[in-house]
Structure 1
Amino acid sequence: MDIQGYCAPGFEALYDAFATNFRDHGDVGASFSAVHQGEEVASLWAGHADRHGTRAFEEDTLANVFSCSKGILAVLALQQVAAGNLDLDLPVAHYWPEFAEAGKSTITGRQLLCHRSGVIAFRERVPDDLIYDWPRALAQVAATAPWWPPGSQQGYAPFLYGWTLGGLIEKASGQPLMSLYRSGIADPLELDGGFGAVGHRSTAIADVGPLKKPLPELRDNAIGRSIKEDRQGPVATAFTNPVSLMMGTNGDPWRNAVIPAANGHFSARDLAAVYGDLASDAPRLLPAALLHEATTEQSRGQDAILQAEVAFGCGFLKSSSAQDLHFGSTAGFGHPGAGGSVGFADPEAEVGFGYVTSRMGQSLFMDQRAVGLKNCLYRLL
């Protein structure tokens, strides 16, 4: 495999760690980037971007990073807090009156961010094309009842997080989400991608697909087992209603839509740039005091949807001792995406980390590919 890119002096071992993912772990097209103390120390890419192997995977190639998108959306919400437009402890309905329907009048923005709202899935079967229509999706989520009393337990919202939080951001700011993204994050950091796959600095888009040979799991696949055991339960419904949430990710409707919990298309250097900024002593994206509050643990527990013990700040997963959720140190925070992509910040080491792949593993957290790169990086610091 011909590895392209750059490693700073002293970080050359990352070439081999990245090549290992292609040689031993099934990568076909991927990129990796790391920022240390504000400087990019690695930007690597290799493979091809399309299913036929005719387009090279480049440094600015955008791949669907699925739930890595949630961390970027959290930054947009926190920027509205910093601007004085949003109070996370007021009810969402204060800004978005329709959201009060169906028992949601007390749900706060903080509960959305730390997955304690109970609004984890549509309660009734919705049309497949609903997810491609932003106004319809917002109206549907505003009418949806929570699955349990808000605040009573932690339950990850795989897709509705994007519409609930995105709708709140728009109502509180009075501006379209995409405009806020461009002015607040993409332009200042000169990012390649964003939500959806079109209208960004880069026009290179990778096709995503499953790994041909599944990687050994780093934890028990409790989510898959729960889905099989109860096809109508909250776990299955959260991931499969509608089925287009799982089936349409290479199609134009998905790429043209704004599905901010799951259809972010980013390069590895995008994720490393965002989290490198958030790992610094003087972040550009957020006031340091607000970032510290947002990355302080807000909720911890056996998550009703993820079927695992996890802790959340405001929109970010907190680092844990589990190797697939260890973001460099106990101070680390970030967000993995289904299939293996991940972005995280480690303020202790001042590290921003980004790994993007077009070949999806079966984990919702990090798998051996990102873990191997992370472990190599930290040996070199």
Structure 2
Amino acid sequence: MEIYGFCAPGFEALYDAFAGNFRECGDTGAAFAVRQHGELICSLWAGSADRGAERPFTEDTLANVFSSSKGILAVLAMQQVAAGKLDLDRPVADYWPEFATGKASVTPRQLLCHRSGLVAFRERVKDNLIYDWQAACREVARSAPWWAPGSEQGYAPFLYGWSLGGLIERVAEKPLLELYREMLAKPLNLDGGFGANGHRSQRIADVSPLKQPLPELRENAIGRAIKEDRKGPVAMAFSNPVSLMMGTNSAEWRGALIPAANGHFSARDLAAVYGELAIEKSEILPRHWVDEASREQSHGRDKVLQAEVSFGCGFIRSSSAADLRFGGPQGFGHPGAGGSVGFADPEHGLGLGYITTRLGQSLFMDRRAVGLVDVLYGLL
């Protein structure tokens, strides 16, 4: 496998670690990028961008990063907080009256740190709902939480995007995609965005499962929870509607706005966003609000993820577990289903991004990203 790109002097071992993911871990198309103190110190890519191995993967190839999208959406929310348009502790319904149904007390902070109880649609919805932004936002607004808001931590795999995204649109008074382009894509020269249309790069990678699953770094108990209660919050969070887990290479999925799960970014994009959040004087968010976003807001065994997780405002915080170790204790970011990840480490002024076309089954980072992170920190 021919590897393209560069590593700054002293970081050449990253080249070998990245190549090892193709030799030993099943990668067939992937990219890895690191920024430190605002400078790109590593950008590597290799393989193909389609299942037929006819289109080469390039530095600006976009891949669906699934829940790694959530961190980008969180930045847009915190920008509205910094601008004085959104109060983290004022009820969402003050900005969005229709949202009050069964959850009039829910705050933006609770949405961001997954303590709203709004983890899934309680009633079965049509499969094509997820492709209709306005309809999905309306459905979220009229949906009741699964438990008393603020009482439990429960990750919202998909509703996070419609609830938070709908709120952002209302306080910013402009469409979410327009806001993204104005506040993030243009300032940071990003290739991708939510969905896969209207962005700088038209190089969209197809994703598919790893041919040989990687050894798990921890038990993924979500499948067991789904089997135990097919109508419970975990099952409904991932399968209502069933189209949430299907068709991620389709034109419908790529053309939709599903900001919790259909962000299409390059590794360089993720490194750019998190690299900005890792430095003292960021162009996209004042340091005070970065610190607030990365501060622990909720910690415990998550009722949906079935694992111990610490959340900030929209970000998962670094822990001692290998698959959630985002540098040191100040680190924060968001992994995505299948293996993608982006994170910031303010202690080292570092932002990182990894994307792949071969989807693993780990709950958080899998061995490919963990291996790259371990080598990187061995070089710092």
Indicate whether the TM-score tops 0.5.
yes
**Alignment-derived partner of residue 61 in structure 2:** 61
**Alignment-derived partner of residue 36 in structure 1:** 36
**Alignment-derived partner of residue 300 in structure 1:** 299
* Aligned residue runs from structure 1 range 114-193, under 5 A: 114-193=113-192
Residues 1:284 and 2:283 aligned together: yes
| Deviation sequence 1:255-313 (CA, Å, 0-9, x none) | 00000000000000000000001000111110111111111100001000000000000
The one-letter code sitting in structure 1 at the alignment partner of 2:196 is A
The one-letter code sitting in structure 1 at the alignment partner of 2:130 is I
**Alignment-derived partner of residue 195 in structure 2:** 196
The one-letter code sitting in structure 2 at the alignment partner of 1:272 is A
Deviation at 1:364, TM superposition (A): 2.8
- Listed as ranges, the gaps of 5+ residues in structure 1 are none
Say if 2:293 and 2:313, in contact at 8 Å, map to a contact too.
yes
**Alignment-derived partner of residue 252 in structure 1:** 251
The one-letter code sitting in structure 2 at the alignment partner of 1:80 is Q
The one-letter code sitting in structure 2 at the alignment partner of 1:20 is G
**Alignment-derived partner of residue 370 in structure 1:** 369
CA distance in 2, matches of 1:229, 1:26: 32
The one-letter code sitting in structure 2 at the alignment partner of 1:62 is L
The one-letter code sitting in structure 1 at the alignment partner of 2:216 is E
**Alignment-derived partner of residue 321 in structure 2:** 322
CA distance in 2, matches of 1:241, 1:346: 35
**Alignment-derived partner of residue 99 in structure 2:** 99
Say if 2:220 and 2:363, in contact at 8 Å, map to a contact too.
no
**Alignment-derived partner of residue 18 in structure 1:** 18
Deviation at 1:31, TM superposition (A): 0.2
CA distance in 1, matches of 2:193, 2:185: 7
Deviation at 1:251, TM superposition (A): 0.3
TM (norm. structure 1) is 0.99
CA distance in 2, matches of 1:334, 1:160: 19
| Deviation sequence 1:209-242 (CA, Å, 0-9, x none) | 1000000000012111111222111111101111
**Alignment-derived partner of residue 227 in structure 1:** 226
CA distance in 2, matches of 1:117, 1:180: 25
The one-letter code sitting in structure 1 at the alignment partner of 2:38 is G
The one-letter code sitting in structure 2 at the alignment partner of 1:143 is R
CA distance in 2, matches of 1:195, 1:110: 22
Q: Percent identity?
A: 71
CA distance in 1, matches of 2:124, 2:71: 28
CA distance in 1, matches of 2:172, 2:344: 27
Does the residue aligned with 2:353 lie in a helix, a strand or coil? Answer: strand
| Deviation sequence 1:40-61 (CA, Å, 0-9, x none) | 1100000000011100011000
CA distance in 2, matches of 1:250, 1:259: 14
**Alignment-derived partner of residue 207 in structure 1:** 206
**Alignment-derived partner of residue 74 in structure 1:** 74
CA distance in 2, matches of 1:329, 1:201: 33
CA distance in 2, matches of 1:185, 1:37: 18
Does the residue aligned with 1:147 lie in a helix, a strand or coil? Answer: coil
TM (norm. structure 2) is 0.99
CA distance in 2, matches of 1:233, 1:209: 28
| Deviation sequence 1:89-125 (CA, Å, 0-9, x none) | 1000000000001x11000000000000000000011
The one-letter code sitting in structure 2 at the alignment partner of 1:340 is G
CA RMSD of aligned residues (A): 0.6
CA distance in 2, matches of 1:228, 1:250: 27
The one-letter code sitting in structure 1 at the alignment partner of 2:119 is I
Residues 1:113 and 2:105 aligned together: no
| Deviation sequence 1:333-369 (CA, Å, 0-9, x none) | 0000000000000000111010000100001310000
CA distance in 2, matches of 1:282, 1:364: 33
- Listed as ranges, the gaps of 5+ residues in structure 2 are none
CA distance in 1, matches of 2:193, 2:286: 22
Deviation at 1:135, TM superposition (A): 0.6
Deviation at 1:3, TM superposition (A): 0.2
User: How many residue pairs get matched?
Assistant: 380
Does the residue aligned with 1:301 lie in a helix, a strand or coil? Answer: strand
